[in-house]
Amino acid sequence: SGQHRVPRASAQLLAPVGDPEKVICVGLNYHDHCEEQGAKVPKEPLIFSKFPSAITGPFDDIVHPQDTSELDWEVELAAVIGKRGRHIEEAAALEHVLGFTVANDVSARDWQMRRNGRQWLLGKTFDTFCPLGPAIVTREAVPDVHNLWIRCSVNGHQMQDSSTRHLIFGVPALVAWVSRFVTLVPGDILLTGTPAGVGV
C-alpha cells in the first residue's frame, strides 16, 4: 500500500540471515585471484568455514582486532540454501538455493597464513568478519548467476572489479561438492570465493 514505509535513514539494516547453522567458504575459486596469488588452479574446491558469530550487518563496522596487523577484504557472492539436501546432484543443485547475497570474507592474513598451524579458521572468523547483505535476491530473479559483476571498494577506492564468470567452480558444482560431506539446511550460507584485488 505504500502507507507503512520506514525512512531508510531511520533503519539499521541487519544481515538477511543472522544465525545460520553453517557458514561454508571456498578459497582460490577465481582464475584471476589464483593468478595474482601465484597459486595453481585447484583441482577440487578448497573448503573452509567461518563461525556464524562472524556475521554482521552489511553497513556495520568491521572491528579491527588488536590480535592482527594484517586485516584484509574479500568481496564474495554468497548463496543462501533454501532446501535441505545431502549428496545433491549438480544438475539439481540450484533447486536447493533460495537466492544470493553479498558477503565480505574479512581475513586476518597473519593468522591465516602463518599462525595457528596455517589453518585458516582463526584468521577468518573473528567477530564482524562476515558482513552480509543487505538483501537476498531470489534465484528466480537472477538470469545467470555466472554472469554477475562483483566489486569491492575500500575507503572510496575500487580494489576488486571482476565477474562471476571467472569462477573456477560454479554454484551448482559447489553445492553438490559440499553436500557430499555435510547436510545442507535452509539458511546455510555458502561464500563462493573472491576475485583478484585483495590487499595481500
pLDDT tens for each residue of 15-59: 999 899 999 999 999 998 998 888 899 999 999 999 999 999 999
User: What is the 8-class DSSP label of residue 66?
Assistant: T
Give the model's confidence band at 71: pLDDT under 50 very low, under 70 low, under 90 confident, else very high.
very high
Overall domain count for the chain: 1
Answer for the pair 28, 47: CB distance below 8 angstroms, yes or no: no
pTM of the model: 0.94
**Which structural domain range is residue 176 located in?**
23-190
- 18 is a domain residue: no
- 151 is a domain residue: yes
- 6 is a domain residue: no
CATH of the domain at 159: 3.90.850.10
Q: What is the mean pLDDT of the segment spanning 163-173?
A: 97
CA distance 200 to 179: 31
CA distance 191 to 12: 23
Q: What three-state secondary structure class fits 139?
A: helix
- 2 is a domain residue: no
